[in-house]
Structure 1
Amino acid sequence: MNIDWAALASVFGVSLVVTVALVGLFTLGITGLARLVPSAQGGGGGTLARTGAYACFALCAGAVAYGIYLIVA
């Protein structure tokens, strides 16, 4: 049995980077939703934060869907 250590290290490095990036992106989405404060004047305060949070969640869902696609295909 011969193990290709370079390929194993490459897979480990890529999966570590992608995992940290996905967790960071999801954390940004949670933080964006947590910082929403209702505006005293009833205006659209927080619309940008909500849109950014939803964009982070959409990117996370897209990355997970792509990972599932790679496993199935």
Structure 2
Amino acid sequence: MHPDWTARGEVAAVSVGVTVAVVVVFALGLARLEGARAQQGGTSALGLGQATLCFLVCAAVVAYGIYLIVPQFH
């Protein structure tokens, strides 16, 4: 039995890439949220909407990962 190193490398590369992407999107969401709060002492609707969209994207990626891992969901 020989392991398929190419497939393992692809899985590792995709895992690292998605992890970095989710961290970046989450950080952008936090930055937009902070920026929305800092504008004129109130809350910017556009900044809040952008932050919400970033957090929803992160939640969707996490939910998709859980869907792929748990066999009862298939």
Same structural fold, with TM-score higher than 0.5 when normalized by the shorter chain: yes
Which structure would you say has the larger RCO, counting Cα contacts within 8 Å and 6 or more residues apart? 1
Deviation of 1:35 (Å): 1.1
Q: Distance in 2 between matches of 1:13 and 1:39?
A: 43
Tell me the amino acid that sits aligned with residue 9 of structure 1: G
1:39 aligns to 2:40 (yes or no): yes
Structure 2 unmatched runs, 5+: none
1:68 shift after superposition? 0.3
Q: Percent identical across equivalent pairs?
A: 46
Q: Which residue of 1 aligns with 2:19?
A: 19
Q: Deviations over 1:28-58 (max 9, x none)?
A: 0000111122536x7xx61111100000000
Count of residues paired in the alignment = 70
One-letter identity of the residue aligned with 2:6: A
Higher fraction of helix: 2
Q: Does 1:3 align with 2:3?
A: yes
Instruction: Tell me how large the CA RMSD over aligned residues is.
Output: 1.6
The list of structure 1 runs, each at least 4 consecutive aligned residues, that deviate by more than 4 angstroms after superposition, is none
